[in-house]
Amino acid sequence: MKKIILVSTILLLLTQFSYSESRSDSAKKMAITTDTIIGKKIALPVLEGYYKDEITEIDLNSYKGKWIILFFYPADFTFVCPTELKELADYYKDFAASDAEIFSISTDSPYVHRAWKKDNSLLKDVRFPMLSDRGGAFSKYMGVYESRQGIAIRATFIIDPEGYVIAAEYSHESIGRNAGELLRKLDAAIAIRKGGGGYCPAGWVPGKEIIKEK
């Protein structure tokens, strides 16, 4: 009888230990999968695109050392998207002055980009590369792919010169973004980098002080 009780106790302890280990492993996996993209270094792909009136391949890795703006949007020949790209084009000189390059990205082909740019007068001043993530691989990698429609959601990422994500924005397809606010965030990131760290308070704009720890 004592042997049976001893064996049962050992089996119970082993079961509890196994369950504890299982829960620990699950917790670790959950911690990994719930990490945000902010602060992560991303792999930059080679994508086809429409740029300078040509269908071409663009290696985003060749832009390392510059600030990179990844501007995902749902689709060409839609209502809100051309207004967003137009506003980016209006601010393009300011982004370029901050040593940043903008890349608009959708799952449309580069040929559709070309047709859209020629068809829509709002896009006549777009000078940044219009990239094609035709299979959605990069959109999936960045966590912005909407599989039901096979499109990217409205999402914007600011990538620093080393390839780390330092800002991200996501919006419903019905809500257009603000290029002026995107530029402000870029200016804030640049100010922190040049200042060797610190914090930009709410509403910070270039010329205002950065908060430094004492």
The catalytic residue among 47, 58, 68, 81 is 81
Residue 28, judged by CB atoms within 10 A of its CB (0-12, 13-18, 19+), counts as: exposed
Give the residue among 169, 165, 175 at the shortest CA–CA distance from 155. 169
Give the residue among 113, 167, 90, 104 at the shortest CA–CA distance from 139. 104
For residues 185 and 158, is the Cβ–Cβ distance under 8 A? yes
- Report CA-CA distances (Å) from 93 to 89, 100, 164: 8, 10, 23
Is 200 part of the annotated catalytic residue set? no
Could you give the 3-state DSSP secondary structure of residue 127? coil
The Cα–Cα gap between 34 and 167 comes to: 17
Could you give the 3-state DSSP secondary structure of residue 130? strand
Hey, which residues are catalytic here? 81
